[in-house]
Every structure is written in C-alpha cells, then in structure tokens.
Amino acid sequence: MIPQTDLPAIDAALAPLWPRLDGARLFFTGGTGFIGRWMLEALARAPVRVDVTLLSRDPAAFAARAPHLAGRFTFLRGDIQSCPAPQGDFTHIIHGATDASAALTAHDPRCMFDTILDGTRAMLDLASDRQARLLFMSSGAVYGVQPWDVTHVAEDWIGAPSIRDPKSAYAEGKRAAETLCAIYAHQFGVEAVTARIFALLGPLLSLDTHFAAGNFIRDAIAGRAIEVQGSGQAVRSYLYAADLAIWMWTLLIAGDRGAAYNVGSEQAVSIADLARRTARLLGAPDVRILGRPDPGWNPGRYVPSTALARETLGVSATVDLDEAIRRTAASNGWTP
C-alpha cells in the first residue's frame, strides 16, 4: 500500500508539469511493476486527460492488486517479447519492461540480454512509426564496477561491465539498448530520453527478492536477526519511491531529447551499515555478517551523481534513508 502522505508531495512537485501532458496518448511497458505502479499512482491523480494503454502479461492479477487503477487504464495482454501491435496514435511511450531477476541472470543470461534488446527495439520501432516521445528505463549498471575513488558516478563516466562475464547480461543489455536509442534518434528522428536508475526503496518493493534493503526490512519485521550474506563492504544508495515517481514523470515530460539522466540518491551507505541502521530503526535483535562470497555482478560501490537532473530539471531526493526504511516497513505491517 502506498502511504497517503506521499501523494500530496507528488501532486505538488508535478503540478507545474502535468499541463504539458494534457491530451497525451501513452503506451507503457513495465507499468504494473514497482516503478510503473508508483508512476501510475501519480498519474491517476493528475488534473489532466491522458489515455494510457498498459502492456501486461496478467491484467486480472494487476486489477486484483490495484482495482482503483485498473479501471482507469486500457490493458493490452502480452509480454515484451511477444507484444502484439498496439493500436492508436501514441504521443508518448514509457518502456520499462525487463525481468531483472538474479535467477534469470544466473541461469539464462541469453534470455535476459535478448529480452532487453529485442523489447527496446520493438518500442523504438513503435516510437518511430507513431512519432512518439520515448522514456527508456535503463540502469546504473551500465557503468560497470564503480571505482572506490569515484564517490558518485556521473553520466559522462566511460566505465563498462566486463564483456566476458555472463553476469553482465543485464548491464550489457541496457548498454546496447541505450545505443539503439541513440541510433534511432540519429537515423529515424526518435525523441528518446534515458533514465539510468540506481537502487530504490519504498512501499510496494518486494521484500523477498535479491535486494538487500528489502531482505533486511523483512527480517526486522519478523523479529529475526538481520543477516548480511557477504562482507557488507559494498556501498549503495536508495532513492525513495515517491521521489522516484516525480523524477520519472519529469524526465518524460521535460527531459532533454537524447539525454541520459542518473536517477537515484547520493546518500551512500555500506551494506553492513544499512543492516545496522535497519535493525536500530525497526528493532531487529541482531545483525550477523556472514562473509560469504558475493554472487552479484557488483560487490563494490554503486552510487550516482545526480547533479545533471537536479540542476537542469529541478528534482531532488526529499526523503532520507531512515525515513525511507520506516515508510517501507510501515507499509508492510511494521508499527513503531
């Protein structure tokens, strides 16, 4: 459940921009996931007329989770790999459909790579055909392993994932998809804006996937000791979901054509300190650092510089990490 206290802040931040979307016809892939759901919650309250078609593998399941949204939008059943041709003269496309699961990366990295690249190509073809503006949800993973002496990685960083590591399938897929966006802009005039999204936190985030912050909150709510599987030295930052919704709509509506923007928080924290902070805030009995080898693609630093978005688009991270932890926990039944 999304805290009702978050919605007025979203309304106020986006009020100057919504009129520019009035009368828009929007096609949205990934709209039923965590990011998409927050964006739809914001849009549902916007004082403008926007027609939205959502690609969904299971519209009925989404309707059961969010009946107040399901009645507002049109659904097209399908997935990004077998998307039927949507009907309509769309003015905007948001492409966020990607399976980011650690299991898929580990067991079928080719499927991961193909899903990202083929899906993005299909949406760029649609954008070219309908002359629509496109917002592509990329990832901070495109930068590869961030050097420890680069405290906040900026959009002009020329790092890259290891091309010989199958665990790079997600990151390399996003890199290739960003290149496709640049090709379609150059060759076909597609107006594309890219969001390079870093780690996130907030209500509706699954607490049972491979994201450490969610796992820590889950264990604290259950009254269990929080376990850090690795050394805890990895460093992350977490943008709160209400801020995320504001940033994403701002990029779609006002982002510069062809630009890529980091979307995230600059408030860095080690995984070990995140576990201790979560335990302190939520009352978990203990924190255990297990020191096992990290199976992920990035056991190091993963923190963006957001100067470009902040200075050119006026967005900011307004909810700090402690409050993000509390609100996420409260939405999952925790009480102080």
Q: Write the pLDDT tens digit of every residue in 116-132.
A: 999 999 999 999 999 99
Model confidence band, residue 2 (pLDDT cutoffs 50, 70, 90)? confident
Fold of 6-201+238-268+302-318: Rossmann fold (3.40.50)
> Distance between CA 198 and CA 263 in Å, rounded?
6
Give the pLDDT score at 56: 94
Sheet architecture: strand order including 51-56: 74-77, 51-56, 25-29, 92-95, 133-139, 191-197, 260-263
Give the pLDDT score at 296: 65
List of residues 6+ apart from 89 with CB closer than 8 A? 25, 130
Give the pLDDT score at 327: 97
Other beta carbons within 10 angstroms of residue 208's beta carbon come to 8
Report helix, strand and coil shares of the chain as percent, to nearest 5: 45, 15, 40
Q: At residue 198, does pLDDT exceed 80?
A: yes
**What percent of the chain is modeled with pLDDT above 70?**
99
pTM, full prediction:
0.96
Section 187-205 average pLDDT: 97
Contact assessment for residue 269 and residue 325, using Cβ atoms and an 8 Å cutoff: no
Q: At residue 295, does pLDDT exceed 70?
A: no
